[in-house]
Amino acid sequence: MLKTLLNSNRMTKRLITISIDSCFVVLAFWSAMFLRLETLDVLFEPVYWLVALSILPASLLIFVKFGLYRAVLRYLSSKATWSIIAAVAVSTSFLVIAGFFYSAALPKSVPIIYFTLSLMFIGGSRVLFRSMVSIITREVKQGVVIYGAGSAGRQLAIGLASGAEYETVAFIDDDNAKQGSVIQGSQVIALSQLDDVLKNNNVKKILLALPSASRSERKQVLTKLERFSIEVQTIPGIMDVIEGRASSDEILDVDIDDLLGREPVSPHSDLLQSNIYNKVVMVTGAGGSIGSELCRQIIRLQPTKLVLFELSEFGLYQIDRELNELVQQKQLNVEIVPIIGSVQRINRVENVLKAFSVETVYHAAAYKHVPLVENNIVEGVRNNVFGTMYAAQAAVKAGVDTFVLVSTDKAVRPTNVMGATKRMAELVLQALANQQSSTRFCMVRFGNVLGSSGSVVPLFRKQIKDGGPVTLTHNDITRYFMTIPEAAQLVIQAGAMGKGGDVFVLDMGEPVRIRDLAVKLIRLSGLDVKDELNPHGDIEIQCTGLRPGEKLYEELLIGDNVETTDHERIMTASEVMLPWEKLEVIINELDDASHHFQHQKIRDLLMHAPLAYKPNDPIADMLFLAKKADPKLDYNNTDKGGKIVSFEQGKNLKA
């Protein structure tokens, strides 16, 4: 019956509640009279019936006014309780007025008894109802343990109690003073007692309520919780809440940032604003992972105009819509200019730069997925090398002040085409920087960014959600990691420090073993790793072998010529350079080879150029392999190698 009532519509519930309250008001009045006078003769006094019939509608109106029928009974709060007390008090006052108006001989103690009984009937019925609902729904609630018994933990427990999904079983806190106390009906325990709680209760997950903890502190907590193989979720950090990126009552998956424990560094405001504030800025590849984050940060630095240059129509649409919403929300005086275009069309780039008088360019347009570029060598060369060169040359012709290239650690001693093309792009900018002085060129090199397209972490999460297996290319593969916001922020600051031809390297911290990262994600999802030692585990980790062009370890520097800067996480490197006259020979040969789809010649050219490019695998380009398998497809005999002009003597030249 109670379940039927819970499932009925809102109006039905209100009518039932009003009917019950009506009975309670009348019952409270007559009970008060009987208890005081100890006789039933009062029932035969018409004046008392007049009083009873007067206070009934008045009390109901009072209850409506105080919102007693707006509150959802199953979620009864302390605020609602005070509303009940106030409403009953006003109803009692009306009883006194009605008694005086009808000249009824009401004993002085009757209003007091009436108040007490009404509070018991009206308030008590609601508390009883909530308790009954709690008992009924308790069986479907998941047990959770909250890590953190501070204000955030207490607020989270209150929020969970109001919902139908979770029930707080216990709190964990490292503060000895809090251990043993009871909060919201749940005991505060030490971490050492968690095993017993998990064994004796239906606990499905642990919720971290540590919004003010640093990333290193959160990492320590997560490391402690790994061994329990229970799902761990968290509420957002205090900065995310303050900056409006999240709500304090949100429950989220564990942030990979917390697993890495990398502490953010306060930006240098002068460096952030130097190339952006009150200027016209353009971002190429504005719809990509890095490009879109650059746009988000740039727009907050108040340029007069932000030009979004993007080849993907959908990507451009998404970032344009997001930024315009941000402009309206923050009331920013920034004009957003969405431009569809390819950096491989120099005339298009030049005309856009001139039309909008662009002063600063952040060049993030690139193909960066290593296996895909290995499979599409010509397009990788055209976009990463010539797209960068055309954009840079257009910037010089348009009188752009600053041009910043977003580069990669894969440009250091590359084993893949993507890395080789990005290193070639660096050489192009270095050569152009020495050829002229009107446009300041610089490059910013960093490792993998968390959450970018093709990033390993979203893939691992999906594989775990699907039941596995989690796939690795190699057990020992390691990578440097950085968050997208931090990478974008450091790119902006590094770009402001450039003098011309500078190669900046970001401090990526310690490299992370990808297998260790996978194990942590599995265990913090509440699952066990399935292996030879644990054949009954949940998720298996499989090694698929290194992909074409993939390295076990990444580097950030070619040599040891590295210097610090004023920013603790930005360094500058002195790398091998070529003057434009020597580099142009390579560029022309590469241009001709790519136009004629001469994949072997492209590889030879990249290997002979001063890139330190040493491929570990045969050519994996899909078109090249198709033509190799069926020579009839190569109508123009395009994939024969060609003569390579000697330029080895320039390999070690420094401009």
Contacts of 464 (CB under 8 A, 6+ apart): 470, 521, 522, 525, 527, 539
Beta bridge partners of 408: 446
CA angle centred on 46, ends 40 and 50, rounded to 5°: 110
Chain length of the chain = 655
Name the strand (E) or helix (H) holding 113. Answer: helix 109-118
CA angle centred on 165, ends 164 and 168, rounded to 5°: 100
CA-nearest of 287, 281, 353 to 315 is 287
Residue 396 corresponds to which amino acid? V
Instruction: Report the Cα 146 to chain-centroid distance in Å.
Output: 22
Beta bridge partners of 335: 305
413: number of Cβ within 10 Å: 17
Tokens of 151: 């204000």
Is the Cβ–Cβ distance between 280 and 307 less than 8 Å? yes
Q: Where are the beta strands (DSSP E) in 300-447?
A: 305-310, 335-340, 360-363, 402-408, 440-446
**Quick check: helix, strand or coil at residue 542?**
strand
Euclidean distance between CA atoms 427 and 443, whole angstroms:
10
Is the Cβ–Cβ distance between 356 and 280 less than 8 Å? yes
Residue 102 corresponds to which amino acid? Y
Tokens of 616: 């570990």
Q: State yes or no: cis peptide before 469, omega within 30 of 0.
A: yes
Euclidean distance between CA atoms 390 and 393, whole angstroms:
5
Euclidean distance between CA atoms 176 and 249, whole angstroms:
26
**Residues with catalytic annotation?**
410
Euclidean distance between CA atoms 561 and 167, whole angstroms:
58
Euclidean distance between CA atoms 77 and 140, whole angstroms:
22
Q: What is the DSSP string of 333-390?
A: --EEEEEE--TT-HHHHHHHHHHTT--EEEE------HHHHHH-HHHHHIIIIIHHHH
Please compute, for residue 618, the number of CA atoms within 13 A of its CA located in the half-sphere on the CB side: 4
Euclidean distance between CA atoms 39 and 27, whole angstroms:
15
Euclidean distance between CA atoms 466 and 197, whole angstroms:
28
